[in-house]
């Protein structure tokens, strides 16, 4: 497998970069020579502290911008601020997400997981695309193994992550890359040892299903992969992933390109439609 890309001297936007996997992505790409990183997150205190800490280590390469990914005005302002500050954007990692179907959160979760991701992706494509004067770039959209599986407790979350997967594949279809020089990649992380998997009983779309959800996860004996393994998988995908590909990271195993599997499933569905 041939390395296609290098983080050195690239300018990044990473959403949800104040904590969890997003924060690990920030550190990983800075360690690989990123020129600048903009952390977009709603968690202002955490984000400012992370930027301050990293700037001491990486010579003022990081900026924190408070951004609610459920609000279009915030996304637009943040994008413009990054361009004003760093003069370019080479990579966008759409990592921000909410895993909760609770009655008071599901709509916001949809706006963050899905609509906010679309908004920033489209802004990135318009800015980067070579057929409109841009220099090309990379957009990484974070889906989930929830997009590849079915279970009854998080139908909104599962649906939003399937939407991310399908959106990313459809927008990247040939001849998109040839025209734009924008590489769209999709990562599907499995269960990872982050706060996203805490308090599962409060995340089901119906409160009375919470304990069933917890019991199901226990019965599955899931291996919660480390954040280090998940981060290494994303870096590997960024360095080696061909345009339009979909990758999987689970069980502390190396990143796996599952594009042929996804393509085969959709081909089977197309054949079923034509029968």
In order of start, what are the domains of the chain with their CATH numbers?
11-274 (3.40.50.720)
pLDDT of residue 53: 97
Whether omega for the bond prior to residue 64 falls within 30 degrees of 0, making it cis, is no
Backbone angles phi, psi at 22, to 5 degrees: -60, -45
pLDDT of residue 13: 98
8 Å CB contact between 62 and 37: yes
Per the listing, tokens 């759409």 go with: 94
pLDDT of residue 40: 98
- pLDDT per position in the chain (275 positions), as tens? 789 899 999 999 999 999 999 999 999 999 999 999 999 999 999 999 999 999 999 999 999 999 999 999 999 999 999 999 999 999 999 999 998 888 999 999 999 999 999 999 999 999 999 999 999 999 999 999 999 998 888 899 999 999 999 999 999 999 999 999 999 999 999 988 777 666 666 666 667 665 665 566 665 666 789 999 999 999 999 999 999 999 999 999 999 999 999 999 999 999 999 98
In this structure, what is the dihedral angle of CA atoms 209, 163, 140, 59, given to the nearest 10 degrees? -50
Active site residues: 157
In angstroms and rounded to an integer, the radius of gyration of the C-alpha atoms of the chain is 18
Per the listing, tokens 């081909």 go with: 267
User: If we measure between CA atoms, which residue out of 268, 254, 232, 263 comes closest to residue 25?
Assistant: 232
The answer to whether the pTM exceeds 0.85 is yes
Which DSSP letter does residue 275 get?
-
pLDDT of residue 31: 98
Strands 246-249 and 256-257: what pairing?
A: antiparallel
pLDDT of residue 219: 59
**How many angstroms separate the CA atoms of 141 and 144, rounded?**
10
pLDDT of residue 193: 77
């Amino acid at each position: 497998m041939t390395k296609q890309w290098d983080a050195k001297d690239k300018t990044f936007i990473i959403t949800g970069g104040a904590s969890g996997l997003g924060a690990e992505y920030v550190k990983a790409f800075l360690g690989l020579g990123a020129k600048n990183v903009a952390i977009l997150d709603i968690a202002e205190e955490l984000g400012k502290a992370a930027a301050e800490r990293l700037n001491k280590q990486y010579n003022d390469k990081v900026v924190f911008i408070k951004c609610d990914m459920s609000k279009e005005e915030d996304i637009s302002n943040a994008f413009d601020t990054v361009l004003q500050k760093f003069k370019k954007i080479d990579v966008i990692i759409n990592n921000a997400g909410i895993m909760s179907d609770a009655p008071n959160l599901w709509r916001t979760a949809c706006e963050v997981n899905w609509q906010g991701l679309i908004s920033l992706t489209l802004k990135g494509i318009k800015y980067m695309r070579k057929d409109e004067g841009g220099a090309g770039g990379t957009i990484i959209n974070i889906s989930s193994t929830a997009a590849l599986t079915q279970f009854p407790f998080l139908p909104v979350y599962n649906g939003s992550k399937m939407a991310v997967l399908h959106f990313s594949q459809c927008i990247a279809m040939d001849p998109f890359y040839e025209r734009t020089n924008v590489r769209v990649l999709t990562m599907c992380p499995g269960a990872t040892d982050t706060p996203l998997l805490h308090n599962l009983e409060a995340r089901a779309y119906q409160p009375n299903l919470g304990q069933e959800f917890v019991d199901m996860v226990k019965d599955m004996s899931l291996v919660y992969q480390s954040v280090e393994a998940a981060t290494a998988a994303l870096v590997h995908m960024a360095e080696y992933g061909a345009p339009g590909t979909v990758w999987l990271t689970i069980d502390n195993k190396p990143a796996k390109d599952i594009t042929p599997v996804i393509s085969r499933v959709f081909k089977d569905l197309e054949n079923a439609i034509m029968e």
